Amino acid sequence: MGVEIERKFLLAGDGWRTLGVAVAMRQGYLSSDKARVVRVRIEGEQAYLTIKGQSVGATRAEWEYAIPLADAEQLLLLCEQPLVEKVRRRIALGPHVWEVDEFFGVNQGLVMAEIELASEQQAFDKPAWIGAEVTADPRYYNSALVKLPYTRW
């Protein structure tokens, strides 16, 4: 079993826009129950099935498997609607990689950054473009954005 320790932040500037490489993503949820999230994601030409357990603080169990792209396309048709559409930039800064997600479709206007850590207490430097932390706010979970999209807040 894998463990994901992730903190989420809103952005406080556009300094990230020229950094990293952008890749388009579409993802859907076969289950968005807070106790068990099952996600299908197409990232560029790669596809993944991900299962996540319930969050405890910034930590939760996670399993991720590569799946055939054609299977992912079919599975997205079975997912809760709407799908989550975004462009992700992975930005390496020091020993960490920030993932900045700019959302589109029904979540247009939302931009968040995430950082994965080895422990919840691990120290890290925040770039100037990082704003308020939203790790504890469940509205910002991608699975929650299916049920209540950002444009309806």
- Which one from 29, 65, 140, 141 is the annotated catalytic residue? 29
- How far is it, in rounded angstroms, from Cα 129 to Cα 25? 22
Residues in contact with 95: Cβ distance below 8 Å, sequence separation at least 6, in sequence order: none
pLDDT of amino acid 84: 98
Element at 143 (helix H, strand E): helix 142-147
3-state SS class at 42: strand
CA angle 125, 131, 137 (to 5 degrees): 105
pLDDT of amino acid 80: 96
Higher local confidence (pLDDT), 59 or 38 = 38
Question: What are 114-127's pLDDT values in tens digits?
Answer: 999 999 999 999 99
pLDDT of amino acid 56: 86
Read off the pLDDT band of 10 (50, 70, 90).
Answer: very high
- Report, as an integer, the average pLDDT of 70-76: 98
Asked about 150 being catalytic, the answer comes back as: no
Domain boundaries, the chain: 2-152
pTM of the model: 0.92
- How far is it, in rounded angstroms, from Cα 90 to Cα 118? 18
Give strand ranges (E) for the chain.
2-11, 21-33, 36-43, 46-53, 59-66, 84-93, 96-104, 111-116, 130-133
pLDDT of amino acid 1: 65
pLDDT of amino acid 55: 85
Look up the CATH architecture of domain 2-152: Beta Barrel (2.40)
